[in-house]
Amino acid sequence: MAKLIVNVGSTSVKTQLFDDALQVKAILNADYGATNGLSVEGVNVQGSKILHHDETIHDAKNTLAFLFQRWQQLLADNQLELSAMGHRVVHGGAMFKSITRITPDVLTQIAKLDNYAPLHNPLNRLGIEMAEELFANVPQFAVFDTAFHRQIPGYAGRYAIPEKLSANVDFYRYGFHGISCQHSVNAATKLLNKSPDALNVIILHLGGGASATAVKNGISVDTSMGFSPTEGLIMASRCGDIDPMIAITLQREGKTVDDINRLLNKQSGLQGICGETDMRTILSRAEQGDNASELALQLFCYRVKKYIGAYFAILNGKVDALIFTGGIGENAPAIRQRILDDLTGLGFSLDSNLNSQRFSSNIDVSDTSSRSRILVIHAEEEREIAQQIMYS
């Protein structure tokens, strides 16, 4: 028996097969957003690499059809049977607070949330619908990125605007990266040998999208992303926190709603500052003296520091650990160093030698004098979904 986890994005689909011991049996990941066609890579049950490229342009539906057909063949060839399938769903609104077994009524409710995450939820739903058709007898589960943050208190979640401004959506700080945050909490409890309900941490999920989350006694009490993933930290191409009058001023100057949406989500952040989204390239250019890249690094790390300070105050200075996760958080020691420079007053002291090392497992990179531990944790959203299915 095995569990197949499906994570559908706007330009990629990630799928992993787990056994009942939560060991990865096989992986198939596809990039379909490029103009040169579909690229698939992974590892089969025997550990051999899978590589495939098709120059035909694929959309999400064609990509899912290809991957699901390959999974059906892989399962048959290895005499494996699925006990469940799990799907990452970006937005669960106020109604979904935990892992949920998919039924027709649940799918109808998820469809009502398309206006909350128009770029992601319809694609997540497509993955569920196709899985139900092609794997008809397999139980399907949805795990929501917003669910981890559903216990945020009203004073942290409410915007200072009138209620019921829209007939289609409720404006609230829903937060995202919740699946990654839950995995980080679970991993931190093992590293620190503490129970979740006694754990206070600040989680920095730093990647193409970036967020900070304050966790008190194992529960999210505040997070930097809000109604949409655009709020909060500076990201690859998202602006993060800005004065809302900037958008209004641009509209008055003739920019359309689509123009402004594209600007804030696709042309801002690191991209808007230095013309590059890949942190590795930005670090390299900064080392070579590129002023725009250096400014991008300064702005990125400064914004993270501000959120660390804010969440340190919210947790009343009782922080068991500061957690770095996500592509940048895990793989950019120079960014971790920059963020933690001058934060010894808050009790965060980094071991520079440990921090600079490559590692394959979760690790504590704090100095022995650090009052709070500094953890680097691999983001494993698919594993977290599989685990939630196991214990549901």
245-296 pLDDT, tens digit per residue, is: 999 999 999 999 999 999 999 999 999 999 999 999 999 999 999 999 999 9
pLDDT given for residue 370 in this prediction: 97
Q: Which helix (H) or strand (E) holds 374?
A: strand 373-376
Sign of CA dihedral 56, 60, 61, 66: positive
| Dist. CA 215–CA 68, nearest whole Å | 37
pLDDT given for residue 207 in this prediction: 95
| Dist. CA 302–CA 274, nearest whole Å | 16
CATH annotation of 2-144 = 3.30.420.40
Cβ neighbour number for residue 198 with a 10 Å cutoff: 11
| Dist. CA 274–CA 292, nearest whole Å | 5
Sign of CA dihedral 333, 335, 341, 343: negative
**In 3D, which of 332, 331, 323 has the Cα closest to residue 373?**
323
Q: In what order do the strands lie in the sheet with 373-376?
A: 219-223, 210-216, 201-206, 321-325, 373-376, 363-364
Q: Cβ(269)–Cβ(236) under 8 Å? A: yes
CA-to-CA separations, 238 to 232, 269, 328, in angstroms, rounded: 9, 5, 15
pLDDT given for residue 58 in this prediction: 86
The CATH superfamily of 194-381 is ATPase, nucleotide binding domain (3.30.420.40)
Q: Which of 145, 170, 243, 320 is catalytic?
A: 145
| Dist. CA 365–CA 370, nearest whole Å | 10
Q: Which helix (H) or strand (E) holds 202?
A: strand 201-206
Report strand pairing: 82-89 vs 140-144: parallel
CATH topology agreement for domains 2-144 and 194-381:
yes
Looking at residue 16, its amino acid is: Q
The DSSP secondary structure of 221-288, one letter per residue, reads: EEES--SSTTSSS--SS---S--HHHHHHHHHTT--HHHHHHHHHHSSHHHHHHS---HHHHHHHHHT
Tokens, residue 314: 């919210």
**Ranges of each domain in the chain:** 2-144, 194-381
Tokens, residue 238: 């998202």
pLDDT given for residue 314 in this prediction: 98
| Dist. CA 245–CA 237, nearest whole Å | 20
105 is catalytic: no
Cβ neighbour number for residue 65 with a 10 Å cutoff: 14
* Beta-bridge partner residues of 8: 13
53-70 pLDDT, tens digit per residue, is: 988 888 999 999 999 999
pLDDT per residue, tens digit, the chain (392 aa), is 899 999 998 889 999 999 999 999 999 999 987 777 899 999 999 999 999 998 888 899 999 999 999 999 999 999 999 999 999 999 999 999 999 999 999 999 999 999 899 889 999 999 999 999 999 999 999 999 999 999 999 999 999 999 999 999 999 999 999 999 999 999 999 999 999 999 999 999 999 999 999 999 999 999 999 999 999 999 999 999 999 999 999 999 999 999 999 999 999 999 999 999 999 999 999 999 999 999 999 999 999 999 999 999 999 999 999 999 999 999 999 999 999 999 999 999 999 999 999 888 999 999 999 999 999 999 999 999 999 999 98
pLDDT given for residue 224 in this prediction: 98
With 0-12 / 13-18 / 19 or more C-beta atoms within 10 angstroms meaning exposed / middle / buried, residue 314 is middle
| Dist. CA 295–CA 319, nearest whole Å | 30
* Beta-bridge partner residues of 255: none
How many Cα atoms within 13 Å fall on the side-chain side of residue 380?
23
Question: The pTM is what?
Answer: 0.95
